[in-house]
Amino acid sequence: MKNLKFPKGFLLGGAGAANQFEGAFDQDKKGLSIADLKTWDEKLDRKKLDSSSLDLDREKYEESKNGNPKNIYPNRFGIDFYNKYKDDLILFKEVGLNCFRTSFAWTRFFPNGDEKNPNQLAIKHYKNLLTEAKKLNIEVVVTISHYESPIGLLEKQNTWLSKQTIHDYLRFVEILAKEYKDLVKYWMPFNEINCTVLSAFTGGGFLLEKNDLKAEEKKYQALHNQFVAQAMAKKIIKEIDPSAQVGCMIAAFSSYPATCKPEDVRANQLKSQLQMYMYFDMAAKGIYSPFILKYFKDENINLEITSQESDYLKKYTMDFLSFSYYMSSVTSANPENNQSGNIIIGEKNPYLSATEWGWQIDPQGLRILMNDLYDRYRLPLFISENGIGVDEKLDPKTLTVNDNYRIDYLKEHLKNLLLAIEDGVECIGYTMWTAIDLVSASTREMSKRYGLIYVDRNDDGSGSNKRFIKKSGKWFKEVSESNGSLLWKLE
Ligand code: BGP
């Protein structure tokens, strides 16, 4: 029987994102971000989801911006972490986190995205948060931009479609690095950078007009601008604090060929190159690989790339590779059985079970992926998101949630992570999604719950907003205290 433990200094924690849990959308001079315009859809069909749920078209955008009173904007209220962070950090400690990954809201520092001087209230707020976390020995890992670009930049320059946004973003990066260099060691310039190609609005912060024939080209241009910003962010952060560590964050869409038929294997190879490896190649090597250059050519995608940008991309590659991993999918040359997934569509895997939202649970897939990535890139890995979303209720008698399914999910994934480390993979951290229930990124539901801590808040914003530790929270603490040993104990 194995008894593998986390390596010394391993970051074991939980993750969240400002736009999904802070709320307080108009407090302390905060400006509107794209997340503040997203609405809850009461009629949402969980069986039929795809990446379009992440986008807003022009009409919906204008309606949201003008504030239709019938709309419910869940990201605007979140769970009020902005005002409750002190108590919440104590709860994070109670569920055993030694590390907490969150984003710092861009529109708190620069309400329109491009002001000359930053909002001092934001600087102070996050300094207080970091200081509180330090007192509790919680290492804060900062995502600089997590699906929350400023509306001001959308209106002015279509956000990431414009190279001007690189400069605006870098001013934000510089402020963060200067202000928090003594309190933050790990930085991730973008959350799930590959989302930009799936959703112009959520990932790239810009609107595409209907039937835009250049839509693909625009998304890849926005992505390229983000790649440059990611490299430049590393340059700036390292100049301010040479000991800081900067890593990418990519949604790892790992996929198996449906059969060993060569056509299926080839289809899967292509999909993996396009959805996953091109992003890791850029982060680790600073290049577009030959396959993606051919893809651009075949698809008539012509990007504006300067030679100075190419130099920066190669020079400022990432110190570690981080990724979210929720599920795996299946690819065949002739897809039949589509299954919803974390903002992508894949096919059904008969060997795996799936969540209510169609995300196929595959703990072994994590070990396979970690080995694969380490074999390709030889850089330390950081699993920055992993977890299970379930529509669950608080037991009114015990005031907890008996979420054994979450314990099973986390246990199996953590065991596979430790097995990958035993295989020889270097892994520096794991932040499960999420420490505490918050608003879902893809569906804006509160009822798609991931937390170790339950929050009494409903999809429409009603509820006491009180916190309750779930059974998984107590279990996570024991895992953390046993340094992983508990994972291998027989039930
Ligand atoms: C990732 C995002 C997170 C998050 C998570 C779960 O894609 O980085 O922001 O929310 O997935 O997804 P969802 O909230 O859509 O269930």
Q: Find the 52 Cα to ligand 1 centroid distance in Å.
A: 14
Type of residue numbered 333: A
Tokens of 387: 């977890």
Q: How far apart are CA 404 and CA 40, in angstroms?
A: 28
Out of 440, 444, 446, mutate this one to test ligand 1's pocket (max ligand atoms within 8 Å of CB): namely: 440
* Token pair 């199996």: residue: 412
Q: Find the 76 Cα to ligand 1 centroid distance in Å.
A: 17
Q: How far apart are CA 176 and CA 158, in angstroms?
A: 24
Q: Find the 441 Cα to ligand 1 centroid distance in Å.
A: 5
Mapped onto helix, strand or coil, the DSSP state of residue 62 is: helix
Per-residue pLDDT of the chain in tens (491 residues, 90 and over written 9):
889 999 999 999 999 999 999 999 999 999 999 999 999 988 888 777 777 778 888 889 999 998 888 999 999 999 999 999 999 999 999 999 999 999 999 999 999 999 999 999 999 999 999 999 999 999 999 999 999 999 999 999 999 999 999 999 999 999 999 999 999 999 999 999 999 999 999 999 999 988 999 999 999 999 999 999 999 999 999 999 999 999 999 999 999 999 999 999 999 999 999 999 999 999 999 999 999 999 999 999 999 999 999 999 999 999 999 999 999 999 999 876 565 555 456 788 999 999 988 899 999 999 999 999 999 999 999 999 999 999 999 999 999 999 999 999 999 999 999 999 999 999 999 999 999 999 999 999 999 999 999 999 999 999 999 999 999 999 999 999 999 999 999 66
User: Does pTM surpass 0.75?
Assistant: yes
Burial 85-95 (b: 16+ CB within 10 A, else e): beebbebbbeb
The answer to whether 416 touches 363, Cβ cutoff 8 Å, is yes
The answer to whether 442 touches 54, Cβ cutoff 8 Å, is yes
The DSSP secondary structure of 286-350, one letter per residue, reads: -S--HHHHHHHHHTT------HHHHHHHHHS--SEEEEE---EEEE-SS---EEE-SSSEEE--T
Domains of the chain: 11-488 (3.20.20.80)
Out of 385, 432, 436, 450, mutate this one to test ligand 1's pocket (max ligand atoms within 8 Å of CB): namely: 385
